[in-house]
Amino acid sequence: MSRRTFLSPYRIMWVFVMFDLPVGTKKERKQATGFRNELLNLGFEMSQFSVYQKYCSSTEKAETVDGQIQNLLPPGGKVDILTVTDRQFGNMRRFYARKDTGKNAGKPGQLHLF
């Protein structure tokens, strides 16, 4: 296998885990925290609250990770697993909102000349 094929953006995969787990009782909170910690132990990083992502070097590795996650599923809630190519991941558009800090938000400060 050539290096060019190995590093192909169509072969490299990203696995996203999105979940909504119940946290109404102490036991449910412990299970949800345990699930998040297990994702971190598998090498996932938090993208957003309840959304974790992991880089995988191949489709086979992504399928292995998928199986590992299925073995960790808590009894309640909803867990979605999405696998995309590195090329698709690279096309993701991200937006970061700025906080409004009050009545002077967005206005430049007074210029002082000495």
CATH architecture of 3-87: 2-Layer Sandwich (3.30)
One-letter amino acid identity for 23?
Answer: V
The answer on pLDDT for 48 being more than 60 is yes
d(CA 21, CA 47): 17
> Do residues 56 and 65 touch, judged by C-beta distance below 8 A?
yes
Domain boundaries defined on the chain: 3-87
Q: What is the per-residue pLDDT across 5-41, written as a single tens digit (0 to 9) for each?
A: 567 877 899 999 999 999 999 999 999 999 999 999 9
Residues 6+ apart with CB under 8 A from 112: none
**Total-model pTM:** 0.77
Residue 30 is predicted with a pLDDT of 96
Q: Exposed, middle or buried: residue 26 (CB in 10 Å: 0-12, 13-18, 19+)? A: exposed
